[in-house]
Structure 1
């Protein structure tokens, strides 16, 4: 799931109100996390594993767990940096999402030979909780551009989590197809959020 931004701000170097250069680590992360290209990278990190799972449905459970663990870790890193692109008061939901993704990724990679049910629970909980947190952030953030797109992505994540938890797969092939399908859908939605964010930044810049 994609995190929300409090308001569209043009990315790029600039002075602080006090006149000092914006070269602090937090400012660097803020410019990076607030850029639409960073959001695009996050969307691709979701879309690519989904495509791999769909074109490789016969992958073993071990491969699926490792691939999904890597997806969760990479996405968690993207989410963590994206937190700094938000206003300070709006960072908590995004930070919780990042931590959730990283912890779930570690669980998948630490025991890749776990059962289908265990993997389904991990993935379902991650998508459900991150979707709820993204929806909360989207509703609470002030001056959020394209709020409908962000809330749509959050809703899709909630539905994906519920489906994975409510419909446990009986085989690795079924689980692979299910996870691949939802990853592709989530990735496409995150692409829409990224391009909507680019449009908002261009309007502010020009």
Structure 2
């Protein structure tokens, strides 16, 4: 690999690692505003994606009418979801938390059923423990979705800091790159 490619790669790793650490610290220190910001950015994305899909449906000459209508309807729905997100970012965040809580409950019930019925290649005790913990996690998320989102954001921030710091610490020194 030539030296310019190595330098470019180093700069890429350093910049992305520093951004990860900074975003991680922001998520840890200000979890709720970080969640709202992510929801707003997602809302803008949905509005743009919906508008582009409608545009593609309108301009899709030569494509089957069923595709054009489907694409246009989906585009309108996606755009409306984006507008709803921009008006009140808490709504999609709470929907996400409720869906996650329901998923935890379903997973826990499935694990307990698997433990009772018996699943080839698995042990009953760990499966029961996993099922019970999943059900408890689902109940906690459904009872306190805002707290669950805050905890998730803080853990995500910690993960960003750890991954960013690891990338910086594991980057070979410049002197080693010259050899």
TM-score, normalised with respect to structure 1: 0.34
Q: Which has the larger radius of gyration?
A: 2
More helix by share: 2
TM-score, normalised with respect to structure 2: 0.38
